[in-house]
Amino acid sequence: MAQKVDGARRAPLNRDRVLRAAVALADDAAIESVSMRNLAQELGVVPMALYRHVANKEQLLDGMVDVIVGQIDPPAGGADWKAAIRQRILSARRVLLRHPWASSVIESRPRPTLVVLDYLNSVVGMFRAGGFSVDLTHHVMHALGSRVWGFTQELFPGSPLPADPEQAAAAFRELSGRYPHIAEIATGPAHDEGSVVGQGCDDQFEFEFALDLLLDGFERLHQQGWRSANQS
């Protein structure tokens, strides 16, 4: 192999370059194409070379999450807790919308990384700064669940209908007969007329609807001095 004819030699790899390449690959292709082999090829390197920079694939995914979470805006000072938290969560949502694969990767991590703990810690801090008791803050964080990341656990990412429009129309008619309530909702005023086929919801509206419902509920509990004893 003598002199390694790369033309201009590759710049040496490092953890950061690996992670950023992985994120880029997931963005451009799909998360399933992020295999050690594909990623190595993308970087002009042999698969095993990656293991000098990440311990294994799990840590690669952790690192990718860190890159994403690092893009969330820092807490806004000044505003009241509700506005500040709302704003921050919507910032997280904007980040996740830019990287659609990220929510499922976040879910899949068995343990939080330090960067993730940083984010969660700061959100907890925002509730505390708003005067929430330790206990209420705890419950409230659980109630938020994945919504702190700016995504809802969708019931189903895809619609039950096939992609082909003609087939879809037929399938929809059959579905309407068997599942009238679902059909009713799917064609309700919240969907633009043309988009019955396909998922026609305004996801942003649905997210904010649920987020505000929760935040309002939190506020109500907070104002009435919630204690462990009294449920709501």
- Applying CB under 7 A, the residues found at the interface with DNA are 1, 3-4, 10, 12-14, 33-38, 45-49, 51-53, 56-58
* Minimum distance from residue 58 beta carbon to DNA (Å): 6
Which of 158, 177, 194, 225 is in the footprint of a second copy by CB under 8 A? 158
- Whether the Cβ atoms of residue 159 and residue 182 lie closer than 8 Å to each other: no
Instruction: Please tell me whether residue 223 binds a second copy under the rule CB under 8 A.
Output: no
* Minimum distance from residue 183 beta carbon to DNA (Å): 31
* Minimum distance from residue 232 beta carbon to a second copy (Å): 6
Decide whether 19 or 161 has the Cβ nearer to a second copy: 161
Q: Is 30 left (phi over 0), alpha (psi -120 to 50) or beta?
A: beta
Partner from DNA, a second copy, none binding residue 93, C-beta < 5-8 Å depending on class? none
Q: Return d(Cα 37, Cα 45) in angstroms, integer.
A: 9
Partner from a second copy, DNA, none binding residue 1, C-beta < 5-8 Å depending on class? DNA
Instruction: Please tell me whether residue 182 binds a second copy under the rule CB under 8 A.
Output: yes
Contact mark string toward a second copy, 85..114, x via CB under 8 A? ----------------------x-xxxx-x
Instruction: Please tell me whether residue 4 binds a second copy under the rule CB under 8 A.
Output: no
- Whether the Cβ atoms of residue 112 and residue 88 lie closer than 8 Å to each other: no
Binding-site size, a second copy (CB under 8 A): 60
Q: Which of 213, 211, 99, 69 is nearest to 152 (CA)?
A: 211
Q: Return d(Cα 52, Cα 15) in angstroms, integer.
A: 8
* Minimum distance from residue 127 beta carbon to a second copy (Å): 8
- What burial letters (b/e) apply to 8-42, b meaning 16+ CB within 10 Å? eeeeebeeeebbebbbebbeeeebeebebeebbeb
DSSP state of 150: T
